[in-house]
Amino acid sequence: MKYLFGDEEKKALKYIAKATKVATNATCKRSKCGSIIVQQDEIIGSGFNSPPQDIEKQRRCYYKKNLYHIKVTDKTCCVHAEQRAIMDALRKNPDKLLGSRLYFISLDDNGTSLRAGDPYCTICSKMALDVGINEFVLWHEKGVCVYDTEEYNNFSYQFGLKK
């Protein structure tokens, strides 16, 4: 992982702002997230979190996560923003995914961008790795951080092991 500075950081913050705009479309009642995928300064995919096809009867945002069986690894009802961005890019620009960069952001209840914590979603990290996304970008307290996708996936698996 590496933190960006100068012009690289400014450029990344512009993409994070675009992901923030995408996140405003999220319909999840628990959290609002947005992602964009960029290849050579072109946004090739975007997505926000919401129930599958935004079908209201699929909504489980209010369920307590501890009520799910231990085998249920994703305790949200929503398709993740990263998953939607990947599916969008696969539909529109499948030939541009290899070597791309995924930007992720979440919003608070007022629509303000939140700083990210450590990588934790193995569902999204595995999917990104599988389609050839090269890097994940998160906005941390220390600044804009770029992770190699394999590294991001490894950190995601280690998340629950940290004390």
160 vs 163: CA distance, rounded Å: 8
pLDDT at 128: 97
pLDDT at 84: 96
Strand bridging mode 101-107 / 135-140: parallel
pLDDT at 162: 58
pLDDT at 71: 47
pLDDT at 77: 63
The beta strands (E) that lie in the chain are given as 2-3, 32-39, 42-48, 101-107, 113-114, 135-140, 143-148
Q: Where are the domains of the chain?
A: 2-50+79-161
Q: Which of 142, 101, 83, 86 is nearest to 118 (CA)?
A: 142
| Tokens linked to 144 | 């804009």
Helices 122-131, 81-92: crossing angle, 10 deg rounding: 20
Instruction: Supply the pTM of this predicted model.
Output: 0.87
74 vs 103: CA distance, rounded Å: 21
pLDDT at 63: 52
Burial (CB < 10 A; 0-12, 13-18, 19+), residue 13, is: middle
Instruction: Extract the residue ranges of the chain whose pLDDT is less than 50.
Output: 59, 68-69, 71-72, 75
Strand partners, 38: 43, 101
Strand partners, 103: 36, 137
pLDDT at 120: 84
pLDDT at 112: 94
pLDDT in tens, 106-152: 999 899 999 999 898 888 999 999 999 999 999 999 999 999 999 99
- Superfamily (CATH) of domain 2-50+79-161: Cytidine Deaminase, domain 2 (3.40.140.10)
Q: Which of 49, 53, 46, 41 is nearest to 18 (CA)?
A: 46
pLDDT at 57: 53
